[in-house]
Amino acid sequence: MSISNTKQNRFSFLLLMIGIFVTISFITRTILLLTDFPEVDIGFISLLKLYGVGLFYDLVASFYYSIPLVIYLMVIPNKLFNMKIHKLLFLTFFFAAMYLLIFNAVSEWFFWEEFGKRFNFIAVDYLVYTHEVIHNILESYPIPLLVTVILVINTVVFFFILKKSTFITKTFGGHQTLLQRFKIGTLFLILPILFFIILEAQNLSNISNNQYNNELAKNGFYSLFSAFRNNTLNYEAFYKTKDTDVVMKDLDTLEHFNDKHLKMVHGRDNTELKYNVMLVMVESLSAEYMGAFGDDRNLTPHLDKLAQKSLFFNNLYATGTRTVRGMEAVTLSIPPTPGRSIVKRPDNHDMFSTGFVFKEKGYDNKFIYAGHGYFDNMNDFFSHNGFNVIDRMDFKEDEISFANVWGVCDEDLFAKAMKESDKSYQANKPFFNFIMTTSNHRPYTYPNGKIDIPSHTGRAGGVKYTDYAIHNFLKKAKSKPWFKNTIFVIVADHNGGSAGKNALPLWRYKIPLIVYAPDIIQPRVISKLSSQIDTMPTLFAMMNWNYESEFYGNNILDPKFQERAFIGNYQRLGLVKNKDLFVLEPDKSIHQYHILDQGLRDVKYQKIDTISSKDELDTITYYQSASYLYAHHLNRWHENLH
């Protein structure tokens, strides 16, 4: 029986759903393209690839989306299918399915505006934390208005289809045997399996060197499904590898480890300094927002002045694009491994961490967070790696002057940090406070009257309020008895965005590192190419500490420091050195890009066809070894003689 026989074939509904899905996907892709039109390669061949591959992904995604409908049409008996009450219920559910498609399209636009990408693992992670995400959305966007507008659009489209497509009503009343239904239904169920096998073998969306084009060629629904499956990636299964013995030997050479992959770090003498350390990790503080890097919007007037009074590292790069990546880099001093951050993985207790190094030196360690620390598994990670945890649950009512879904405002957070510092000081213990801010995060709300940008108006206000709060914090801290013996470390967790023409847009990963202690440190600017993972080893060297180390990070101030940086997203892994970017791809390939020019908000690469064997080995070594050590529990504190 032909599917096109609309008078009798109920599977016409399936063809209609696929047609609606593909149409909405086409419109969505076009709107996203127009949103970042200047960044997209709009050559005829490029657009042909973009829309051609995009159509294929749309069809594949439509088959996945239609699976429940296929099964339903297969099993529902003819008598029940043709009842009037069923017709009403069926069309209601069809209406709801259309609504979800339009709602998904609108959601994709907002996600694209924020990240410059189709739905990916970030969307998957956020689905886990429904309280924060839902309230963040409610506080950031006019949801009642959007829901109403989508409902109106869906209603108009639905009744237009009913009016123009008379076969919908004619389809009810037909008769198909169970065997006929199963023949057609099985075909539509086999197709998604075949597509799954094809797309597992290769990524068809890599159609261009322009990352915007690659993202636009995808389908958001399919990308979300794929991200659910690929939130963690096995290095050896997806990336180019070398023999493990060769890699570990090269690692020992690169990092000056001994045959147990350890190195003894020695101070200038045996006089170790026990300064207090107040590390402030600032949400999304890209270099592009600071006047010290050349921005002219005056968003960070206080931090710009502070940089002049501090050790200011102006050529340092974040390892990733998520808060947990920044935490991982600073706490574990390790290059990013593919997939989710170690902070979010279940097997992350008793790592060789800066927390345990401080603890061994007699410090009182605290992780102080403005929000609920269960988010992104932060509480579990820090509490099992040398820290006591202070999160929003530990704030008393009179300690909160302003809060949004992500946590208390930065001023309240810093006030709490000072109270915790007082407790440690009164107990006669040096302290290490790891403070994580949240105000520079959508919905960008903060107390009114503090800065000249109204609350809830965008990223610029979030940046400027955080700048104000840090200044206020340091001003108040100067009155404390522990101030003169305290080093303040200010570093971003990651960049303020991840969109770019390139797979790894280097300029976006540049972040500030400011080390301030007016009675301890002489101000100067350090312009060595360096990584977020070098933060704590540099601080330990400044305090003249001796310790056994498994850290990949090193002292940036050492004249022998080897300049390099590690950057990545959840799939691509990059090594930057000598004006070149080496990128490991999850298809077991490696590429080299020479950095021609890098500005505050752009970078120009030239792809190099031939990579030297040494550069290839070193790039693989860093990432393969980091994954190997983690997988085999070799970078654990309890494995050492501590």
232 — pLDDT class (breaks 50, 70, 90): low
Q: Tokens standing for 469? A: 């709060």
Q: What is the pLDDT of residue 160?
A: 87
User: What mean pLDDT comes out for the span 212-239?
Assistant: 81
Q: What is the pLDDT of residues 429-460, one digit of tens each?
A: 999 999 999 999 989 999 999 999 999 999 99
Task: Pick the more confident residue, 249 or 171.
Answer: 249
AA identity, residue 131: H
Domain-wise residue ranges, the chain: 12-229, 244-263+286-639
Nearest Cα residue to 588 out of 626, 623, 633, 629: 623
Backbone angles phi, psi at 66, to 5 degrees: -90, 0
Residue 371's Cβ-count burial label (10 Å; 0-12, 13-18, 19+) is buried
Query: Which H or E run contains 183?
Result: helix 178-201
Q: What's the mean per-residue pLDDT of the chain?
A: 90
Is the pLDDT at 101 greater than 90, yes or no? yes
Q: What is the pLDDT of residues 38-81, one digit of tens each?
A: 999 999 999 999 999 999 999 999 999 999 999 988 988 888 88
Q: What is the pLDDT of residue 130?
A: 58
Task: Report the CATH architecture of 244-263+286-639.
Answer: 3-Layer(aba) Sandwich (3.40)
Q: Which of 344-348, 442-446, 527-531 has the lowest mean pLDDT?
A: 344-348
User: What mean pLDDT comes out for the span 329-343?
Assistant: 94
Task: Pick the more confident residue, 252 or 497.
Answer: 252
Global pTM value = 0.79
Q: What is the pLDDT of residue 110?
A: 85
Q: What is the pLDDT of residue 2?
A: 45
Q: What is the pLDDT of residues 106-133, one digit of tens each?
A: 989 988 887 778 887 667 666 655 566 6
240 — pLDDT class (breaks 50, 70, 90): very high
Is the pLDDT at 497 greater than 80, yes or no? no
Q: What residues form DSSP beta bridges with 276?
A: 486
Residue 115 to residue 113: CA distance in whole angstroms: 6
Q: What is the pLDDT of residue 170?
A: 62
Q: Which of 46-55, 119-128, 399-408, 537-546 has the lowest mean pLDDT?
A: 119-128
301 — pLDDT class (breaks 50, 70, 90): very high
Q: What is the pLDDT of residue 563?
A: 98
Q: What is the pLDDT of residue 438?
A: 96
CB-based contacts of 462, cutoff 8 Å, min separation 6: 283, 284, 439, 440, 441, 444, 446
Q: Which of 134-138, 286-290, 361-365, 616-620 has the lowest mean pLDDT?
A: 134-138
User: What mean pLDDT comes out for the span 521-550?
Assistant: 97
Q: What is the pLDDT of residue 117?
A: 81
192 — pLDDT class (breaks 50, 70, 90): confident
C-alpha radius of gyration, the chain, whole number: 27
Is the pLDDT at 374 greater than 50, yes or no? yes
173 — pLDDT class (breaks 50, 70, 90): low
489 — pLDDT class (breaks 50, 70, 90): very high
Residue 150's Cβ-count burial label (10 Å; 0-12, 13-18, 19+) is middle
Q: For 636, which DSSP code?
A: B
User: What mean pLDDT comes out for the span 275-284?
Assistant: 98
Q: What is the pLDDT of residues 579-606, one digit of tens each?
A: 999 999 888 899 999 999 999 999 999 9
User: What mean pLDDT comes out for the span 354-363?
Assistant: 97
CA atoms within 13 A on the CB side of 227: 21
Q: What is the pLDDT of residue 346?
A: 82
Report in angstroms the alpha-carbon separations of 382 from 193, 321, 332, 421, 504. Answer: 41, 20, 11, 18, 29
Share of the chain above pLDDT 70, in %: 92
Q: Looking at beta carbons, which pairs linking 195-203 to residues 24 or more positions away fall under 8 Å?
A: 195/60, 195/63, 199/60, 199/226, 202/587, 203/587
Is the pLDDT at 414 greater than 70, yes or no? yes
4 — pLDDT class (breaks 50, 70, 90): very low
Q: Tokens standing for 615? A: 């550069």
229 — pLDDT class (breaks 50, 70, 90): low
